[in-house]
A and B are shown apart, each in its own frame.
Chain A
Amino acid sequence: MIEVRNLWHIYDGKKEALKGVSLTIGNEIVALVGPNGSGKTTLAKHLNGLLKPTKGEILVDGLDTREHSVAELSRVVGYVFQNPENMFFEENVFKEVSFGPKNLGLSDEEVEERVRWALREVNLEGYEDRHPYSLSGGEKQRLAIACILAMKPKYLVLDEPTTGLDEKGAESVKKIVRKLHRDGHGILLITHNMELVLELTDRVILLYNGEKAFDGGVKDFFELNLRDYSLDKPALLKISSSLGLGFFRDLESFLDSALRRVSQ
């Protein structure tokens, strides 16, 4: 479990980015939402120790992030950055994925096994010899996830994993997230995409001006007046509520219900 206790972060002694945020994350899919500049990334960077608290503390499975380096914490919390290209530097996919496990000081066999496993998890088998930069946008995103996955962290932070991807690319990222959750990973999803939140997550944490404005179930979240936080409801929920049909997580169940109503 990741426990964030009364976390404050003040940049350069001036800008208050986080003002007393407390939360816990277990083996669940949690969405971290909020307008630009609300402190989402600042919060996420604390979870693997890239940033250290100005005040308050974070315990990752009992480890205090102030006392452990990013390298140590990276075994427990994986952070997939928004732009995959910001991390690719090797000449092929295999070497790229093995960078992380190698840094953990594993044996060559163990590294190879992990790389194969991670590539299988994200459906990139057979891509081992391709150049990372020659992949498509969706493949790059999946490769980025594999790079972190190969370090076998228990928790994963995904920063805008579907931004800029086409429907097919986004769909495969969603599938991976669901599978990782089933396998026991805790996942924190930073996103602006409310459709993704609706489809994928059980719990939503809303940050606003560096404070936690909401923390609860996805259904309750979409009952908030999201306009107050520069966010908007997904079209699906707008249509279903104007039809008086209630709450749906995906298009299929909405269509089922709508068709049933029409046929009655």
Chain B
Amino acid sequence: MISSFYVERDSFLHSLDPRVKLVASFLGIVAMILFNSPYALLPLFLFILLSLRFLGKIGFREQWQVLKPLVPLMIITMIVWPFILKPPLFGLFFGFGYALRLGALGLITFSLLLTTKQRDLILGFIKLKMPYEIGLTLTIALRYIPTLYTLTMTIMDAQKSRGLELERGNFFTRVRKTIPVLIPLIISSIKTAHELSIALESRAFGTKKKRTFLHDIKMELRDYISLTVILGLFIAAAVLRYKYGVGYVRI
């Protein structure tokens, strides 16, 4: 996870056109928001887990790695609901659905990054008529998450070596103790961004409106079939939700 999230695998999801994956991710996220009952959200969540495992060859252990940082947030979501929604047991059950939503959003986003090369992701964005700059900005941002993580670890080590104890003290002292880590991190990020912009300009970024591409992507029969299936599933979900009221609890 040093430079990119992408993992090389020989799987169906890996070989799919990035546009199809972008549309599928978007619709997947919308579908998770469409429903609010855990009776609908749990099967959807399991469906995502299983399709990642079998269509994307992303093992459950790797999926867990993605979900792990979200778990505290998911638990907080779950225990907050009983205070809002009575009876408490029903609130907890409802909160469970919201926690699943959160997990699913994380899983869907990361599965896109895990199965798609950055190059293809940008290409996908552009072919969907997004301006190149936005596609590039988005992928640069994603690309720098692991780099910033490594940098944060280094800065933390450097400040610990100066006697900083991050684990000690109450909540407020701990917040104050993050300053020696945050400031070098912010300065370093701004410097990196500045250097990056110089590097881009020195390679004639933005000279021509219309760009040409060394690699190209093409929709194949398989991609069209997948897209149709995805659209079909989504429409079915929308019909179930709005026409028959399935998976929605009015509160």
Residues of A within 8 A of B (CB): 45, 48, 50, 69-71, 74-75, 78-79, 81, 83, 85-89, 99-100, 103-104, 133, 147-148, 151
Contact = CB atoms under 8 A, between A and B. Distances in A.
Interface residues of B, number: 19
Interface string B72-102: 0000000000000000000000000000000
Contact of B163 (A50, A71, A89): A71
22 contacts: A45-B157, A50-B157, A50-B160, A50-B161, A70-B161, A71-B163, A74-B160, A74-B161, A74-B163, A75-B163, A78-B161, A81-B154, A81-B157, A81-B161, A83-B154, A86-B155, A86-B188, A99-B180, A100-B163, A103-B162, A147-B162, A148-B161
Contacts of A89: 179-180, 182-184
Given A81-B154, A86-B155, A99 B188 contact: no
A147 B182 CA distance: 18
Contacts of A100: 162-163
Contacts of B184: 85-89
Which 6 pairs of residues, A with B, have the shortest CB-CB distance? A103-B163, A89-B183, A79-B161, A100-B162, A87-B158, A70-B160
Contacts of B155: 86-87
A151 B154 contact: no
Contact of A74 (B162, B180, B182): B162
Contacts of A86: 151, 154-155, 158, 184, 188
Interface of B: 151, 154-155, 157-165, 179-180, 182-184, 187-188
B196 to A, nearest CB: 17
B148 to A, nearest CB: 13
Contacts of A78: 161
A120 B213 CA distance: 58
A78 B162 CA distance: 8
B163 A133 contact: no
Contacts of B157: 45, 50, 81
A88 B159 CA distance: 9
A104 B154 CA distance: 21
Given A71-B164, A88-B183, A133-B187, 6 more contacts: A50-B157, A74-B162, A79-B161, A86-B188, A99-B162, A104-B163
B181 to A, nearest CB: 8
Nearest to A80: B161
Contacts of B182: 89
A70 B159 CA distance: 10
